Structure 1
Amino acid sequence: MYPPREFAKNQNNINFTVDGRARVLVDGDLIINGNNFTMNENGDPANLLLIVDGNLEFNNNAKLNAIIYVTGDVEFNQNPIVVGAIASEGSITGIADSEVTFNEEVISRADFGGACISEDLEVVIDHFRIFHPSTALTCTPAQDIRVRACSNPECTTLFSEQVTVSLSPESGWLQGNTVSFVGETNELAFRSVSAGPATLGFLNSTVSAEGTPPLKCFADKGTSGKCEIVFSESGLLLNAPDHTSAEEVQVSILGVKAGETDPGQCVPAFTGEKTIEFMASYQNPLSGMRVPESAGTSLSGGSLVLDFDGSGAASFPMRYRDVGSVLLQARYDGTGDEADLIIEGQDSFIARPDRFEVVVSGNPGTPDVTNENMFREAGEGFDVEVRALNALGEMTPNFGQESPREAVRLTVEEAPGIPLVNMPQLDGALELFGSFCTTPEPGKACGQFVWPEVGTFSLLPSLISGAYLGTENVEGRLLPYVGRFIPARFEIAIDPGRFSSTPLSTNRTSCTEERSWVYTGEPFGWDMAPEVVITPKNRNGVTVQNYAGTLFQRVGVDDVGFAPFPVEDEAATGVGGTPLDLEAALAPATLLPDTSGSLIYRFATDDEFRYPKTLNARVSGYTPEPVFSLEGLIDADGVTVLDPTENLPEVFKPVADFEIRYGRVALDNGYGPENLDLVIPLRAEVFGSGGFQLHQDEICWFYDLPKDTSVDFAASTFTSGQTGVVEVADVELSLEDGRPRKTAVEDYRLRLSAPAPSGAESVQARGIYVELDTGSDWLKDFWDADNQEALVNPYAWATFGVYRGNDRIIYWREVPTN
């Protein structure tokens, strides 16, 4: 017993397992906290009894297989999973958003151990029972007498404390008439040397019976009796053993009488061949369809000629093809010299079924995971027949007609070679034997059952009482493979993921972290890849545990279908008014199970995306909202979402915390005197509402002078030996506010050195061609008027000794004064 407490506070992945049976009692409120808390997960709920004398609160995906009783309120939070049974004296809230699987059958198998009995409730004796034979001989004691103390009218619970009784009559009991016992005595014996009835009863007991009547008697393994044994001086002593139905057994018969010199000793009543008449009567149940036989002769109204030996003993074979308790009576009517001799005797026997057989209609009965052996959806009903059979394989009509009725339990077990994560028991019940079937037959019971899981299991029938009419247990024949059960549907939940603006390309960039933009045409990837949570459900909407990651999973990564790329952006339109497209280079996705029974479809972390750089994409910056669309989800068994026409496609838009900007590196033509270095203006630009403008955020891209600059003199009067790109000591030069850095000590601008020897550009010459390699297509643009579909590096014309001046001046040149 625990005081009020909080399980797994500030702790994760706390697991409690149950070895055998356990009872947990909490004297006060209980809060089950911590991520992924489990108690008896995958275990039999009947093995764990949780009693909370207060309120119970579930948090953070707790999982319990248990029978739970709460005196206060129960609150479900954050989707706990409970399998078994739960009862509350107060309210139960949040159960609609949780997975609670109620299995009434586990209650009958639980050991409550008095936990549900009030401390103030006194356990009493309802009545006593005496089991005895109805006849006996004066020359031998009456055997197999037992006394039982019952705590309820049905006597399903025995008194658990010692009681002492004084039996009547006071004399004749071989062990003495005072007996102390707990529950039930051992076998007692009673002798009477006088012929006639002897009445059994109680003189007193240390614990009084409070029921009415306080004493019940049962004669000859039957259902009721008179508490009376009739003693005779002579008789036939039969010994018909309890046995399996339809098995041939030997019944011994002894014809004896009280000795003339010693009436307390039995002597043979006769020897030699005698004709013995037999009669059989049903005791439990009280009627039947079959009678005992001996080599084809009915033992109910028939007779056998038996050869009694010198001790008055004989035997004969008997076969009874039904079940139950039967009283076998024998009678000898003397003839000739024995004309006045009549000797009678009887014994009862119990015949039990040989086995139980289970038949599941339509069951494929194989372990294969193929399309052909699909049986039912998880949670879908199916019909089961249970047949009580004798040793010849015949159904036994009287099974289930006893009082109290014998019945069969169906237990789910692991199928050979097929491990299961979760193995719940069946929901449903067998109807009474001999009725309620589509084609009712005595000895057969039918029922509709539901299994809430996926997979294949074995089904074992067993006798609920554990001992047929108090004799021996009956083993059922295992049905090795029931199934295959498949999910009823998939539920999907999508985490749209988040794009990253961190540059994927390391070419010519110094940025290794997120930026506020990505260029049109520049590849980008995931900060957090999207996930599609695929949860297999049964017909009741409960997650099945035996699908994801098991041999019963029949959905693969290729069965999750998305609309092909390119996909349209919902928020961005091109120059022509049509939506801009997002292109993708997708790496293989993964489909892996999680711990809750779901499958996680994850886009690959190294997926690459880009908005193609075209003239149509030359628009102002925008936040990307591309529309991803889950178009199809179906496994090899045809399992899909609840309503594909309504639930698919499922669209989502990954989150982006940055803009897509149409950018470029631009060069301007340079003009200047031939005696000074000539600056070629360089800057980063983005397109905006007013056209291209300085991209002051650009600080990542770098360049190397003169490595990344090419100079062509084909259209100039200068040669490569006269001028070139001015080198600087530093490499990987970056921009500040979108332009090269220029300070008192640093000048990272693109410059051509003053020509040496000096001179001016010819008027007819176009100038020196200067091109800057940006290193990346997304910083190129459609500069070439002759090929407007091609992205090219920025270029400019450099002219020494020629000035642009006013456009109305045709020619302007400096002239030396001397």
Structure 2
Amino acid sequence: MPAYKYGIASLLLLGALLISPAASAATYVVPAGPLPPGCSYDGTEVLCNGNLIFGNNDTINVSSPTTLRITGDFTFGNNFVVNEGGNTDDLNIIVEGNMNPSNNGIINANLTVEGSINSGNNTGFTGGLIVSGNLNLGNNSTVSGNIQVDGTLNTGNNITIDGNIDATNVNIGENNTVNGNIEAENVNINGGNSVINGDVDATNSVNNNGTINGDVDSPNVNDNGNITGDQCDQQQEIENEEDRGCSPEGNVEYFQLTHSGTALTCEAYPVTVTACADAGCTNQFAFTGTVDIAESTGGFAASTASFNNSSQTTVELDIPTVGNYQLVTQNPTGEIPASGVQCDSVNGCAITAVDTALRFTNEQSQVAGVSFSLGLEAIRTDTNTGACGAALQGNQNVQFALSCQNPGTCSNTTTYPQAALTINSNTVGTAATAVPVTFDSNGAGTLNVTYGDVGSIALSASTQAPTSATLSGNSAPFVVKPHAVGFTISSNPAAGLTSDFHLANVFASAGENFEVRLTALNFNGDATPNFGNENTAQTLALVNHSLLAPTGSGANSGTLANMNGFSASSNIAEYVNSSVNFNEVGVIQLEANVAGGDYLGAGGINGALNRTSEPVGRFIPAYFEVLSQTPVLVHAQDDFTYYGQPTEFGLNPQWELRAYSTAGALITNYRDLFYRLTSDGSTDGNRFDTTATSNLANVTASLNGTATLQVANQSTLGQPLEFQLVNLSMLFSKPQVPKLPAQADYNITVPASLMTDSDGVCIASQAAPGNCQDISLNNSLIGEAMDMTGTELLDGVVVLNDSYGVDGEPLPVDVIITAYTSVGGLEAYRVNTRDNSTPVTTAWLTNLACAGNTLNAQGNTTVSGGRTGNSFVVDGAATPCEALWQPNLNDLGVDYLRSWNSTSNAWEDPAATLYFGRFRGNDRIIFTREIGW
């Protein structure tokens, strides 16, 4: 995998992409980010001001449940995807303007649009649609959810809607399928091949050219197709209900009667009546009306159950005569049940009325393995008064037996001894077992009961009275639910920790799947064998999680994915899920419960401590990504830098580090004690491999000084982490052969090891998170913009010419700075007129001996236009003399202005002779004068 390489040009291009219409697909993540342009997250919802426009093939993913609010129109191109494969309820989209989908879109969210929706073809909507304006669905589109439209719903061809429709006007096209009911003022089913699998309720008119597999309720029906249900007008007042054609709406599936099954002739017999809305009575329907609870042959007087906007009520029956009876319902008003009565009792709808009986009391939902009390009353009917009295007093042996209702078979206590039932410390099974019970003067006894298993159970009891009469009775069924959920998470380093969670070893990367096993337990911590064997098998699931660390303001609790994907394992009452994952860094705690939060109507598992796991973690990032900025070299002087002259960074080598999950989602919890990058101190500059680019032949680039890696925000919340190298300068070596000016191209490589944390997380890609990559900081991609981030390098050489002066007078000395350039194709060292800053100080000429004279420069100066001219002056010698002047450029700090002597193979300093005294001329010049013939 190549190293990351970034330059200003690439950053400028990135910026252009962000502010101009997308030329390629973009992926956004709400609310974690990156967010669409113009959008922000305030902690509760993602707000996008104005119109929001997406291009073709763009995608929005969901990192955690949120609301996306758009204050203008919502428009997107072809193949736009929102929350594909996610939970529909995790995303609510509110559009305050219109929504304009193009073709082939996938929208998995609950939508509320204050304007209209004008959808293209082949668009799939999953979730509820609430539209204040009109809804126009293009051809071949699908909707999985209920539709509510204040205006008109128009569908194209080949549309499938799985849900109910509520609109003002509905116009159905050709070859449509609606799997739900339609309510509107006007309904027009225009397609001959369109099918409505539900009822149609129109307050004005229905025009049907297709098939309606349900009832049609409307005052005006024009049927040119096929209606398989009844046709009626329930808006019209009709005295005879049967003349209306349609039955009242079937909101009540059946009435359920809950009773004990044994009635005493000496007291009223209570029956609870429930209006069930579905086959399992999972949901109930509240209404206002009545139903009579009676005996099938009229064996006793009926009693009327009254509902006042309620779904459950209780009646009391007077059964004065011993016998066997059968409960029925009669004469319902307000709601007509779809099916017959059902009874929740050991004996179904049968009642046995007796004069003497054992009656259980306090049958309530219980917890497996937790002791509870039941009452047992021995009752007889006084033959003189008809009132109830005590049938037993004192200590009596009573035969008890266990009956498992749901599941219908009790667990084998030989195999699973923890599943046993005990009454007053005596083990009781399905066969009758004698248990001593003490009855008081009122015939009431107390039973101390413990059941180690789960399910709906009932107890039966029988004994003989002193009169030899047999007393017997059955309890009402009651539910025993699990006490706790057991967690098994293999190789979990954080287990057992109560603090210092950051000390845990690595458990998994953020987004990496791990296995969780859940077991339904009783109070003693034993598995409950019957869990999962119910008529409708119960299961366990994860329902929540909490972030234990890191903590602090803004810490991201993250998202726990695949919480419901548990299946039964080979172990009793155990459920396994190997695809759970957490998308953040830190340590968490899991919470589990019975799936749906309710065990056979008895509610979920009590007590948070009984539902939560030990700490789970530590979760770490899957990989890092880096965004670097091209370092900016400033000119060492004027508008250039000499080869061999150190140049500073105007913009230090720096980069941003971002942590990601395996799914490519940005992580925010890589902070504080969970931040594991340790390279935050001084580091030898030689660790960074620096090389010159190919156009700088015979030149090497190196870093001067000791690099200090500074971390801008390692201890603060959030992303990104910012790094920079400081206390560094760059040096490009002076070539031995003359070199023309060139741009300072360079590359700084930060090795992968420096950005690899103590957990082994490094800079990599989502596809190959273990393939660690270096960071490459360079300006090789700048091209025409190179002068923005670099400096021009010049080959400079100092030239000193011989100087002549009168003895006793100061002598100006011209110091010339040359640079190797090309003029008209001719390459040579020429005066560097760009140099206006090289200092020439008195140190250049100090205590120079000249025939007993000591020469010193009179003051400091700076070259101008590449030379000192008359600005660098030497004291005059008192007597005529000459001296060789050769300043040591290395000692003067300008060794980069020396020249290479190819003969001696060494860098050499410039030299010149200073002459003092009357100039006698040049020995090599002969003057002649012609005086005539």
> Normalising by structure 2, what TM-score?
0.65
Unaligned runs of 5+ in 1: 1-6, 76-83, 94-111, 504-510, 742-747, 814-818
CA distance in 2 between counterparts of 1:9 and 1:536 reads 17
Contact kept? 1:431, 1:445, Cα under 8 Å: no
Contact kept? 1:356, 1:388, Cα under 8 Å: yes
**Post-superposition offset of 1:772:** 10
Structure 2 partner of 1:357: 486
**Post-superposition offset of 1:457:** 0.9
Aligned letter for 1:571?
A: S
**Post-superposition offset of 1:256:** 1.7
CA distance in 1 between counterparts of 2:684 and 2:352 reads 85
Contact kept? 2:703, 2:731, Cα under 8 Å: yes
Shift in alpha-carbon separation, 1:769–1:600, aligned structure 2, 3 A: closer
Structure 2 partner of 1:219: 344
Output aligned runs, 1:250-289, within 5 Å: 250-263=373-386, 265-271=387-393, 274-289=396-411
Are 2:845 and 1:710 aligned?
Answer: yes
CA distance in 2 between counterparts of 1:458 and 1:363 reads 12
Output aligned runs, 1:136-285, within 5 Å: 136-143=263-270, 145-150=272-277, 152-159=278-285, 162-169=287-294, 177-182=305-310, 184-185=311-312, 187-195=314-322, 196-209=324-337, 212-213=338-339, 215-220=340-345, 226-239=348-361, 240-263=363-386, 265-271=387-393, 274-285=396-407
Cα displacement string for residues 20-59 of structure 1 (whole angstroms, at most 9, x for unaligned residues): xx8x9999965699xxxx99x99x62x6586999736799
Are 2:620 and 1:468 aligned?
Answer: no
Structure 2 partner of 1:693: 830
Structure 2 partner of 1:388: 520
The secondary structure found in structure 1 opposite 2:752 is strand
CA distance in 1 between counterparts of 2:613 and 2:692 reads 57
* Backbone CA RMSD of aligned residues: 5.0
**Bigger mean CA offset, 128-137 vs 172-181:** 172-181
Output aligned runs, 1:631-780, within 5 Å: 631-633=751-753, 634-642=756-764, 648-654=773-779, 657=787, 658-671=791-804, 679-688=812-821, 690-703=827-840, 707=842, 710=845, 714-716=849-851, 719=853, 734-736=863-865, 738-740=866-868, 748-750=870-872, 761=880, 766-767=882-883, 769=885, 776-777=893-894, 780=897
Are 2:42 and 1:16 aligned?
Answer: yes
Structure 2 partner of 1:323: 454
**Post-superposition offset of 1:735:** 0.7
Are 2:575 and 1:453 aligned?
Answer: no
Structure 2 partner of 1:105: none
CA distance in 1 between counterparts of 2:654 and 2:668 reads 20
Output aligned runs, 1:61-140, within 5 Å: 66-69=90-93, 73=101, 86=109, 118-120=165-167, 125-133=251-259, 134-140=261-267
**Bigger mean CA offset, 316-325 vs 190-199:** 190-199
CA distance in 1 between counterparts of 2:641 and 2:751 reads 28
CA distance in 2 between counterparts of 1:803 and 1:247 reads 126
The secondary structure found in structure 2 opposite 1:468 is coil
Are 2:915 and 1:798 aligned?
Answer: yes
Structure 2 partner of 1:426: 560
The secondary structure found in structure 2 opposite 1:415 is strand
Structure 2 partner of 1:97: none
Residue number among 435, 442, 446 corresponding to 2:572 in the alignment: 442
Identity of aligned residues (%): 17
Structure 2 partner of 1:530: 653
Are 2:703 and 1:568 aligned?
Answer: no
Contact kept? 1:430, 1:446, Cα under 8 Å: no
**Post-superposition offset of 1:329:** 1.6
Aligned letter for 1:394?
A: D
**Post-superposition offset of 1:415:** 2.3
Residue number among 588, 600, 608 corresponding to 2:708 in the alignment: 588
Contact kept? 1:28, 1:55, Cα under 8 Å: no
CA distance in 2 between counterparts of 1:14 and 1:27 reads 9
* Residues paired across the two proteins, number: 713
Aligned letter for 2:601?
A: G
The secondary structure found in structure 1 opposite 2:835 is coil
CA distance in 1 between counterparts of 2:392 and 2:662 reads 73
**Post-superposition offset of 1:173:** 10
**Post-superposition offset of 1:428:** 2.6
**Bigger mean CA offset, 307-316 vs 416-425:** 416-425
**Post-superposition offset of 1:641:** 4.3
Shift in alpha-carbon separation, 1:573–1:291, aligned structure 2, 3 A: closer
**Post-superposition offset of 1:586:** 3.6
**Bigger mean CA offset, 786-795 vs 538-547:** 786-795
Shift in alpha-carbon separation, 1:541–1:713, aligned structure 2, 3 A: closer
Are 2:730 and 1:609 aligned?
Answer: yes
Cα displacement string for residues 618-671 of structure 1 (whole angstroms, at most 9, x for unaligned residues): 522221222222322322122334469965445342465221112244321124
Residue number among 518, 524, 534 corresponding to 1:402 in the alignment: 534
Contact kept? 2:559, 2:584, Cα under 8 Å: no
Residue number among 587, 607, 621 corresponding to 2:741 in the alignment: 621
Structure 2 partner of 1:540: 663
Residue number among 497, 500, 515 corresponding to 2:634 in the alignment: 500
Contact kept? 1:570, 1:579, Cα under 8 Å: no
**Post-superposition offset of 1:275:** 4.2
CA distance in 2 between counterparts of 1:273 and 1:441 reads 43
CA distance in 2 between counterparts of 1:27 and 1:683 reads 64
The secondary structure found in structure 1 opposite 2:736 is helix
Cα displacement string for residues 526-556 of structure 1 (whole angstroms, at most 9, x for unaligned residues): 2322333333333333333322x23222122
**Post-superposition offset of 1:308:** 3.6
Cα displacement string for residues 131-159 of structure 1 (whole angstroms, at most 9, x for unaligned residues): 41133223223336142342x55554444
> Normalising by structure 1, what TM-score?
0.73
**Post-superposition offset of 1:565:** 5.6
Are 2:461 and 1:338 aligned?
Answer: no
The secondary structure found in structure 1 opposite 2:532 is coil
Shift in alpha-carbon separation, 1:526–1:636, aligned structure 2, 3 A: same
Residue number among 485, 488, 500 corresponding to 2:619 in the alignment: 485
Unaligned runs of 5+ in 2: 1-30, 81-86, 112-118, 124-145, 150-162, 168-181, 184-248, 412-418, 929-933
The secondary structure found in structure 2 opposite 1:551 is helix
CA distance in 2 between counterparts of 1:384 and 1:146 reads 42
